[in-house]
Structure 1
Amino acid sequence: MSRMKNGTISRRTLLGGLTAAAAAGSGLTLAGGRANGAERAATMPLTVVNNTGQFGNSSIWIYIVGNEGGRQVRVTPDGRVAPIALSDNGPDGWTDYAIPLAGSGDTKLTLPNMSGRIYVALGSKLKFKAVTDGAGNAALQYPAGWVSSDPNYNILHDCAEFTFNSAGMFCNTTMVDMFSVPLSIRLTGAKDQTTGTLKSGARAKVFSGLAAVDAFAPLVLGDKLRVIAPGHGLDAGLFAKDYLAAYIDEVWAAYAAKDLKVTTNAGTFTGRVSGGRLSFTGPGSVAFNKPSTRDVLFCDGALAAPNDGTTGPVAAILGAGFNRTTLHNTPAQPTTDPAAFYTPQVTNHYAKAMHAATADGKAYGFAFDDVADFASYIQDTAPTGVTLTLTAF
């Protein structure tokens, strides 16, 4: 999960997603603390609703995994937090952290204070493996649906992300790595909020729409199994490494001749390209090398966003401008009119499809999709319950 609110980065630890390697130290935490000094409940009701229309409750399993403090943990079916342990691996080499759905109707669970992911698996259980990380601690290998050798590659699965702590509940549906299972989140508390809901028939439109774009067609895997994000496709040899090269060159040429202004909570930065670098002055002096296609898609490398209040927010806004392909012709960023997003022929069609699919137009199609509040993210400082719905296919 990646979040930026009003230009201030508060969480950037899952920008590239968890890999098939052990996620030890992956930082499944979201910056926060006590809200106005108030203590929040240590647990919260979690309801899981199966509205898939294709899978019965007996064919769906839930996994709640992540971090509590400095240790990796999982949630048991009775709502307890249990540390990851190597002894959890069974004779087949895999853990069984699956939480089955109720025999019928909605499934009522308890969510403890922690930060992590809620995975859903349909048709088959997921294969999580407990391993030892570089520090000698027990850690967990997460599914990587974009890696053909991953043991979960052929299993229909997806996840939502959350942090539930003394500051409240912070959660999102994510397509940063891949899209497969339509999920929506409803969060009740001080407000009643829902995000992630797909339009009727939108899942099929995502698959067919991307299959019709030559550069993105290889990202559609199996018979509507999943679509992987173009960054992962690039790493797998399924997506062109220079796809955005001409657009990046266009941006660099544009701001060699005029100023680019980027406004964050810290103020307005003014940038020009000189000596091959895009350098800004203003509340602070920050500079960026010309990014590659991979840097843009992962919002990393030359566009890495440290949580420093200066470079990070500017990098996030640049990353959004590149992915939404508004940067070349809008010298005042961030752009806030969604009608201006993804208009060139060469653009991030994956992110475009994710936003077109959702009822509220919000999605996490790339890591900095929270710029200007276009991510499928909701929060509440006084939460009373959360519902994860597997919506119709």
Structure 2
Amino acid sequence: MSVTAGMESGPPIGVTAGPASDRGEIHNWTDLFYFFNHSLPECHVELSESTKRVALFVLYLAIFVVGLVENLLVICVNWRGSGRAGLLRLYVLNMAIADLGIVLSLPVWMLEVTLDYTWLWGSFSCRFTHYFYFANMYSSIFFLVCLSIDRYVTLTSASPSWQRHQHRVRRAVCAGVWVLAATIPLPEVVHIQLMESPEPMCLFLPPFETYSTWAMAVTLSTTILGFLLPFPLITVFNVLTAWRLKRAGRPESRRHCLLVCAYIAVFVVCWLPYHVSLLLLSLHGTHIYLHCYLTHLLYFFYDVVDCFSMLHCVLNPIFYNFLSPNFRDRLLSAVVHYLPKAQPRAGRRASSSSSSTQHSIIITKEGTELTAAGPHHPSLHFQAPNPSPISAPGSLTAS
């Protein structure tokens, strides 16, 4: 998805046109677009835009199909068990809802890529679609942070007050996360507009005179709130949780350490390339000057990196749900619950006066509910525009 045109259509958000002496008189966005179209390339790089668009469409489609199925399953299974003893299941449920929101916005970005970043859905849709994406992106990351912190607190806290009020606290935290995530994108979204010339494009267009300031402010806020603050919290509390379980002498502690490494790696792989590219392109031309070839590569691959960041919508359900035997058991129970049951049916009397009855097969599982023992943006687009709950110290995956 993108909120700015590609290099051939207009300037990237976060990158200014350089000193006025180098660019002549630029008074409006049309002049700036013209300047970039005729003066930005300083070197020639053979890169196929058509190949990139095809690859992006396929990648978006794959993430949409797989993410839709996975997150719907996670929501259905955890919604059915939300009233039972899954202490941290509320965070997993809300994170899946946020990831589903991101996945549901992907068809728009797929079509936008196919149409060479032309926006055909009107001004309201231009703003709302990006706002919807931003809000769900921040929600997914914030719920991942809450899950990491709350899991460690649940594992280590034996306070009677916490045991009594933990469900109420979690509901309040979830409500607060949704409100916060819905508020953060507003300063950016109000400046997203539909530009009709030369083709309809959904662009980030703050006041022209303060464009660089707005672009840098949005970039820094996105990087700080979306990565620099969440990443240390996710890492620290996941490591502390794994260390606590290992110190308790659990035989499965090695598996927990591997899962913690996977949780951290997924977050880094999905988000670090995106934020590095975003910062470099925002700083280029105002604070630093990148080599010509590097600039071309960053512009060209930015949409690919942005799309790649959405893999967290596919990986989160796997690491925080499907790897848990408890979740798989509940998924099997849910599937069996909704399977049509064959009703007993009396057959016609045969010559032997016998009757046949078809019995449905009922699958039951004797399970025990474990309780706590003791104690998861196209922000500034340069082309057109996560830890699992533990029911008991013996599990790091969603219960």
Q: Please tell me the TM-score bracket, short chain as reference.
A: under 0.3
Higher helix share: 2
- TM-score of the superposed pair, with normalisation by structure 1: 0.25
- Of structures 1 and 2, the one with the larger relative CO (CA 8 A, separation 6+) is 2
* Greater Rg over alpha carbons, structure: 2
